[in-house]
Amino acid sequence: MLIRLFGYSLLAFACSSSFAHDYSAGELQIAHPWSRALPPNAVTGAAYLDVHNQGKTVDRLLGAQTPRATKTEIHTMLQLGEVMKMQKLDSVGIPAGGDTKLAPGGTHLMLFGLQKPLVAGERFPLTLLFEKAGKVEVEVLIETAEPDPHAGH
Ligand SMILES: [Cu+2]
């Protein structure tokens, strides 16, 4: 019951179109949260999304939580010689008037201790915590491949 402890956001709301998968909270717009479908034995996964900040000051993503995983961390990828390593971040900035993209190969939300396999087509709730915009509840769509940003969704 992690989600109950963490609480629901009063700031977040989904667009009215049944196909839209975007959220806004304060000065932030969050586009298409998604996660890659994984084999049933996978114990860790990742979630991705785009955040646009239409405000005049920077905001920061401080963390996230979902009942689908025991722990969620912000990670980035670091090139160490020949290998890419993941490194935990305390926060990630969303510049004033700018965008921050959480995507495969870059900054992502790491989901540790998956409570259920990530099956394509399913959705799960994710609570994002921003420094200024506060808590934002979104639904993560599980997909087999990275969604085309130019396709309507
Ligand atoms: Cu990671």
Per-residue pLDDT tens digits for 11-56:
344 433 445 589 999 999 999 999 999 999 999 999 999 999 999 9
pLDDT class for 8, splitting at 50, 70, 90? very low
pLDDT class for 150, splitting at 50, 70, 90? low
- Tell how far CA 97 is from the center of its chain: 19
What is the structure's pLDDT at 1?
40
pTM as predicted: 0.82
Distance 20 CA to ligand 1 centre (A): 27
In the reported structure, the alpha carbon of residue 108 is separated from the centroid of ligand 1 by a whole-number distance in angstroms of: 6
Alpha-carbon distances, residue 69 vs 43, 58, 73 (angstroms): 9, 29, 10
- Domain CATH code at residue 73: 2.60.40.1890
DSSP E strand boundaries for 37-68: 44-53, 59-65
Look at residue 152 and tell me if it is in a domain: no
Find the domain containing 102 and state its range: 2-143
Interatomic CA distance for residues 114 and 45, integer angstroms: 7
The answer, yes or no, to whether residue 135 has pLDDT greater than 60, is: yes
Residue 12 inside a domain? The answer is yes
Examine residue 149 and state whether it is found in any structural domain, yes or no.
no
- Spatial separation of the C-alpha atoms in residues 35 and 56, rounded to whole Å: 30
**Is 62 a member of any domain?**
yes
Output the furthest CA–CA distance in the chain (Å, rounded): 47
Identify the pLDDT of residue 151. Answer: 59
Contact 38, 143 (CB under 8 A): no
CA 16 / ligand 1 centre spacing (Å): 32
Taking ligand 1, which is a single-atom ion, which protein residues have CB atoms under 5 Å away? 75, 86, 110
Q: Which two tokens stand for residue 14?
A: 């989904």
